[in-house]
Structure 1
Amino acid sequence: MQIDELSDEVEQVSAFYAERHGIDRSDDWFVLKLNEEVGELTQAYLARAGQARDKGRSDVELEGDFRSELADVLAQVLLIARRFDVDLAEEVARKWLVWKPSQSPIVHQRPTAVAGGGRNREHSESERPAPASKRFEVLCRGENSVAPVCLHETRNRDCHGCSEFENEQC
């Protein structure tokens, strides 16, 4: 099942449940409900790990509780994403999948100033390394920050020190 299909199914169940029980699914409810579900997942994990009371439940039941609570958290995340019009597949690709070891570094052009003195953080995810004669900013994996670096020196370099590195020959 695709994530959009799963989201549709979860929405149908949640809307039915809320109507049946008189629940107002406000913005606050969606986020607070996630907090509740994460708490239940934590409790199930602790019981499964022997760090909390098992309440007389067998190992199989504790494992089932953990799996069920994990599903509840996922379902609530899907509901929140739907409520706030967030494309989760797109956001996971943007935030997580750029770090796949098989990916070459994502190249970002230097941010430009925008009204109000802020910085434009829009980047082209499809850009790939340009000739070494151009300087770009590359996301530093070590510090989760952007620092000026020379691209051809960055490819096989541990970037923890990149904020200090600049090759004027490039």
Structure 2
Amino acid sequence: MNDVTMTQPLPGLEPFIDRLKAISDRYERVHGIDRGGDWHLLKVQEEIGELTQAYLAMTGRSRRDADGARHEVAMEMADVVCMIFLMARDQGIDLNAAIQEKWMKWEQVMRDEASA
């Protein structure tokens, strides 16, 4: 593994978020939406609600039609993930560093366990 892989679990993340931000900037411009303050958090919550609706339909626990629900689940997952990325950017949070600290530390624990 090279240094970038070790320090950045998602090495292409920042350029990807740049692309998402450009799309979100267009959304703001075209629809006249103010994305300031708590907007990103509220959008994450909204998208989680839509994901929950689609999941309930997909698993047959809703009045909604299950046809196409799996695709809707995928689309709503994409919305949730992208809104999280945009929220992190808006708040100045380095997700690569957070993922490294919170999740990737367990790789060493697993290596230690495997060699014990």
State the SS of the aligned residue for 1:54: coil
- What CA distance in whole angstroms lies between the structure 2 residues aligned with 1:85 and 1:30? 13
String of CA shifts for 1:26-48, please: whole Å, max 9, x gaps.
Answer: 12111111100111111111111
Identity %: 36
Given residue 102 of structure 1, which amino acid in structure 2 is its aligned partner? M
TM-score, length-normalised on structure 2? 0.80
Q: In the alignment, which residue of structure 1 is the partner of 2:93?
A: 86
Give the C-alpha shift of residue 104 in structure 1.
4.7
The answer to whether structure 1 residue 62 and structure 2 residue 72 are counterparts is: no
Given residue 69 of structure 2, which amino acid in structure 1 is its aligned partner? L
Given residue 87 of structure 1, which amino acid in structure 2 is its aligned partner? D
Q: How large is the RMSD of aligned CA atoms in angstroms?
A: 2.1
Q: In the alignment, which residue of structure 1 is the partner of 2:110?
A: 102
Give the C-alpha shift of residue 96 in structure 1.
1.2
Q: Which runs of 5+ in 2 are unaligned?
A: 1-10
Alignment of 1:5-20 (within 5 A): 5-20=15-30
Q: In the alignment, which residue of structure 1 is the partner of 2:84?
A: 77
| Partners of 1:27 and 1:83 within 8 A in 2 | no
Q: In the alignment, which residue of structure 2 is the partner of 1:52?
A: 62
State the SS of the aligned residue for 1:27: coil
String of CA shifts for 1:2-56, please: whole Å, max 9, x gaps.
Answer: 211221111111110111001000121111111001111111111111111233x
Point out the more displaced range, 94-103 or 28-37. 94-103
Q: Which runs of 5+ in 1 are unaligned?
A: 106-155, 157-170
- What CA distance in whole angstroms lies between the structure 1 residues aligned with 2:112 and 2:37? 38
Q: Flag the 1:78–1:19 CA change in 2: closer, same or farther, 3 A.
A: same
Question: Moved runs in structure 1, 4+ residues, more than 6 A?
Answer: none
Q: Which has the larger radius of gyration?
A: 1
- What CA distance in whole angstroms lies between the structure 1 residues aligned with 2:94 and 2:17? 11
